[in-house]
C-alpha cells in the first residue's frame, strides 16, 4: 500500500490560500467540430438523464466519446457534416487553424480579468498533447503538436506576474481505452489500468513537471494506479516547493476493472443515482483523499465546501468547457453574474477557476471575453 505520510500536514502555500481568480483553458481538436447538444447543464442531466448524461451533455470537449454512441445527437451531427470521417481527421484542420495562436493576447485578457493564476489543459481525454512531448504514445505515434503551446503560454502568463498551472487527463485517454462512456460507472470503467498506460501517464506527468514547473498540478478524473503517486508527488514538490496538487487522483485499479462487468457497473450506478436523489448532485462525500492541497468542485458555488479546507470551484462561462458553437448567448454568464459568483465563492474561502473555450483558431469569442473584462473592471474599481 502506498504511503502518503510524507505529505501529512503540509500547509497550503500562501499564494494559493488567499481566495482569488484563476483561468482554466480547454482548447484542442474538439474545437474543430465545436459541437455538443446545447441548453441543458451536465448537473441537470445527472438528475434527469443520468444513464446517458455524458452523450447528451453540453461538454463539447467530449465529442470523441459522444461520437461512439450511434444514437447520440453528436453522431447525427457528425454524419451530416463529416460522414464517416474519424475523430482523428480533425487533427490537420486544428493544427492549421492553431497556427494563429497568440499566447500574448490570451495572457493580456487573463490579466485584464484579474486572474492570479492560469491552468492550461495539456492533454484532454482524446489524448492529443499540446506540447512536443518526448514520451511517444505507443498506440498512436506522434499524437502531439509540433508547436509548444504549453511553453509559449507559460512564458506569457509568467511575464505578467500570474502563476501557471497545468491540467493533465490522467484518468481518461481514449487512445488507450475508448469504451463508450454514458454515465459515471462507465467513466470509471474506462480508466486504462494496463502497465503501458501507467508508464506513459507517469512519464508524461514527470516531463510536464520538469519542463514547465507548474504552480498547479491539476489531474482529472482519476489515476491508473496508486503505487506511483507518492513518488510523483514527492518529485513535484522537490521541483516546485510552493506548488499545489488537486484532489482528482482516485487510483482504485480494482474498482476500475470491476466496473467493466455490466452487473457491477449497474450496481455502482444505482448507488450513485440513489445518492443524487437523496442529497443532490453536489451533496456527495467531501471526505479527504490520501493527499491533496485543495478540493475541486464543478458547476457549483461550493456552499458544501465551507469550512472543509482549501477548495476551488470550476466551471465554464457557458455550459461547456471546450468551445461549443451550438451554445446560445443566453447560456453564457454575464459580467454581473460572474462577479456575483466570484464574490460568493471567494467569500466562502474558495478560488474561482473560470474556464474559457477558444475556437480552433485560438480566438476567444466575445461572449466569453465580455464577462471576463467586466469582472476585471469591477475588481479594480
pLDDT greater than 50 at residue 237: yes
**Phi then psi for 319, rounded to 5 degrees?**
-95, -5
**CA–CA separation, 352 and 342 (whole Å):** 6
pLDDT for residue 219 = 98
Give the model confidence (pLDDT) of 125-176 as tens digits.
999 999 999 999 999 999 999 999 999 999 999 999 999 999 999 999 999 9
pLDDT for residue 117 = 98
pLDDT for residue 245 = 98
pLDDT for residue 287 = 60
**CA–CA separation, 292 and 310 (whole Å):** 10
pLDDT for residue 285 = 57
DSSP one-letter code for 20: -
**CA–CA separation, 91 and 28 (whole Å):** 9
Residues linked to residue 163 through DSSP beta bridges, in sequence order: 117
Give the model confidence (pLDDT) of 275-305 as tens digits.
999 888 876 555 668 899 999 999 988 888 8
Q: Domains of the chain: which residue ranges?
A: 19-380
pLDDT band at 3 (very low <50, low <70, confident <90, very high): confident
**Is the pTM value of this prediction over 0.85?**
yes
Cell representation of residue 22: 484563476
CATH architecture of 19-380: Alpha-Beta Barrel (3.20)
- Please name the helix (run of DSSP H) or strand (run of DSSP E) that holds residue 184, with its range, or none: helix 184-189
pLDDT for residue 1 = 45
pLDDT greater than 80 at residue 348: yes
pLDDT for residue 41 = 94
Amino acid at each position: 500500500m502506498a504511503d502518503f505520510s510524507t505529505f501529512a500536514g503540509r500547509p497550503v502555500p500562501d499564494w494559493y490560500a488567499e481566495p482569488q481568480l484563476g483561468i482554466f483553458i480547454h482548447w484542442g481538436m474538439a474545437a474543430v467540430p465545436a459541437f455538443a447538444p446545447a441548453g441543458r447543464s451536465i448537473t441537470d442531466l445527472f438528475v434527469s438523464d443520468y444513464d446517458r448524461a455524458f452523450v447528451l451533455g453540453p461538454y463539447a470537449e467530449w465529442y470523441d466519446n459522444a461520437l461512439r454512441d450511434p444514437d447520440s445527437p453528436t453522431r447525427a451531427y457528425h454524419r451530416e457534416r463529416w460522414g464517416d470521417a474519424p475523430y482523428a481527421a480533425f487533427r490537420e484542420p486544428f493544427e492549421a487553424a492553431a497556427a494563429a495562436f497568440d499566447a500574448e493576447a490570451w495572457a493580456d485578457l487573463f490579466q485584464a480579468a484579474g486572474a492570479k493564476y492560469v491552468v492550461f489543459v495539456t492533454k484532454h481525454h482524446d489524448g492529443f498533447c499540446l506540447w512536443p512531448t518526448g514520451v511517444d504514445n505507443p498506440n498512436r505515434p506522434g499524437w502531439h503538436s509540433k508547436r509548444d503551446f504549453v511553453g509559449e503560454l507559460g512564458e506569457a502568463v509568467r511575464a505578467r506576474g500570474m502563476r501557471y498551472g497545468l491540467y493533465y487527463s490522467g484518468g481518461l485517454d481514449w487512445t488507450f481505452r475508448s469504451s463508450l462512456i454514458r454515465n459515471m460507472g462507465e467513466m470509471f470503467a474506462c480508466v486504462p489500468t494496463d502497465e503501458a498506460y501507467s508508464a506513459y501517464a507517469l512519464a508524461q506527468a514527470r516531463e510536464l513537471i520538469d519542463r514547465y514547473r507548474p504552480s498547479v498540478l491539476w489531474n482529472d478524473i482519476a489515476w491508473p494506479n496508486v503505487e506511483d503517486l507518492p513518488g510523483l508527488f514527492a518529485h513535484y514538490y522537490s521541483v516546485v516547493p510552493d506548488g499545489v496538487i488537486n484532489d482528482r487522483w482516485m487510483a482504485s485499479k480494482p474498482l476500475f476493472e470491476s466496473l467493466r462487468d455490466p452487473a457491477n457497473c449497474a450496481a455502482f450506478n444505482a448507488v450513485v443515482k440513489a445518492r443524487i436523489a437523496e442529497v443532490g448532485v453536489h451533496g456527495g462525500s467531501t471526505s479527504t483523499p490520501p493527499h491533496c492541497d485543495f478540493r475541486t468542485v464543478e458547476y457549483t458555488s461550493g456552499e458544501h465546501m465551507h469550512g472543509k479546507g482549501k477548495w476551488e470551484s470550476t466551471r465554464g462561462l457557458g455550459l461547456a468547457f471546450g468551445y461549443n458553437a451550438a451554445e446560445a448567448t443566453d447560456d453564457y454568464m454575464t459580467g454581473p453574474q460572474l462577479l456575483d459568483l466570484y464574490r460568493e465563492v471567494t467569500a466562502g474561502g474558495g478560488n474561482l477557476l473560470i474556464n474559457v473555450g477558444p475556437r480552433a483558431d485560438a480566438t476567444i469569442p466575445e461572449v466569453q471575453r465580455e464577462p471576463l473584462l467586466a469582472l476585471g473592471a469591477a475588481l479594480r474599481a
